Amino acid sequence: MKDTILEVKNLTVELDREKIICNLSFKVKEGDTITILGPNGAGKTVLLKTLLGILPYRGEIKWKEGIKVGYVPQRLPFIKTLPMSVKEFFKLKEEREKEIKKILNSIGFSDDFLNKKIANLSSGQFQRILVGFALLKNPEVLLFDEPMSGIDISGQESIYKLLERLKKEKNLTILLVTHDLSVVFKFSNYVICLNKCPICQGSPKEILTLENLQKLYGQELRFYQHYHQH
């Protein structure tokens, strides 16, 4: 029996008097890969930030005691302009160089990559660095906010392969925000369909029907129909 590492009950988040998330409940068990799916403005990023304790909320968020959580944000475009090397970026977490090199190797880079400038990295390389940064201090849970945003198709594929490998190697539990339904079916064992209020949740094969997707996105989505046959 796998441990429950996160329990959310009746979560409601209001920002500037606008209700962003209403009455959301779910559980996360050790080793789960859970996808939060929904249109832009649905509250997905707000949910991750609330789980991290950044935003105020009503309801209950109960993490397993002592659990360590890493976070990969959607984008950090501003940091690409900073005159900072990869090594200096990792040092922001005050980690020893030996551990930094170990993480660097685990995300597919050699030690000499530490000397590269952040500004000179491709979007795919930079996303890997963000994944590595989140892995410092050995978290048991990783939260990913649309990790493929702005990355070309080949780069997206390599990032997902990296996540799949790291999940197995480090026994990670993953909460992932994405728009890509093929990724949901390939990587997730549970999906939460959210458009401010929860629309549905459960296993992808059971939940991601055309009817539910139309409820979620509020438009005709016939071209998604073939996905739920996987």
Predicted model pTM:
0.87
For residue 70, which amino acid is it?
G
Angle at 58 between CA 54 and CA 60, to 5 degrees: 85
Q: Is there a contact between 20 and 163 (Cβ–Cβ < 8 Å)?
A: no
3-state secondary structure of 137: coil
Question: Residue 73: which pLDDT band, with cuts at 50, 70 and 90?
Answer: confident
Instruction: Answer yes or no: is pLDDT of 223 > 50.
Output: no
pLDDT at 225 over 50: no
Q: What domains lie within the chain, and their CATH numbers?
A: 1-67+140-148+175-230 (3.40.50.300)
Given a cut of 60, is residue 67 above it in pLDDT? Answer: yes
pLDDT in tens, 74-118: 766 656 677 889 999 999 888 889 999 999 999 889 999 999 998
Answer whether residue 124 shows pLDDT above 60: yes
Please state the rounded mean pLDDT for residues 37-49.
93
CA distance 185 to 190: 9
Closest CA to 206 of 221, 223, 184: 184
Q: Which residue has the higher pLDDT, 200 or 154?
A: 200
Q: Which 8-state DSSP code applies to residue 110? A: -
Question: Distance of CA 76 to CAs 51, 69, 123, 215, Å?
Answer: 20, 19, 10, 31
The residue with tokens 């929860």 is: 198
Q: Which of 7, 1, 164, 148 is nearest to 73 (CA)?
A: 148
Length of the chain: 230
211: Cβ contacts below 8 Å, ≥ 6 apart: none
Tokens 């999906």 correspond to 191
Average pLDDT, stretch 43-67?
96
Residue 171 has pLDDT above 70, yes or no: yes
Nearest-CA neighbor of 196 among 214, 216, 176? 216
Residue 61: strand, helix, or coil: strand
Q: What distance in Å separates the CA atoms of residue 56 and residue 110, rounded to the nearest whole number?
A: 41
Using 50, 70 and 90 to split pLDDT, how confident is the model at 230? very low
Q: For residue 217, what pLDDT band results from cuts at 50, 70 and 90?
A: confident
Give the pLDDT of residue 10: 98
Using 50, 70 and 90 to split pLDDT, how confident is the model at 219? low
User: Per-residue pLDDT for 165 more than 50?
Assistant: yes
Confidence of residue 119 (pLDDT cuts 50, 70, 90): confident
Q: Are 221 and 66 in contact (CB under 8 A)?
A: no
* Average pLDDT, rounded, for the chain: 87
pLDDT for 199 beyond 70: yes
pLDDT of residue 79: 65
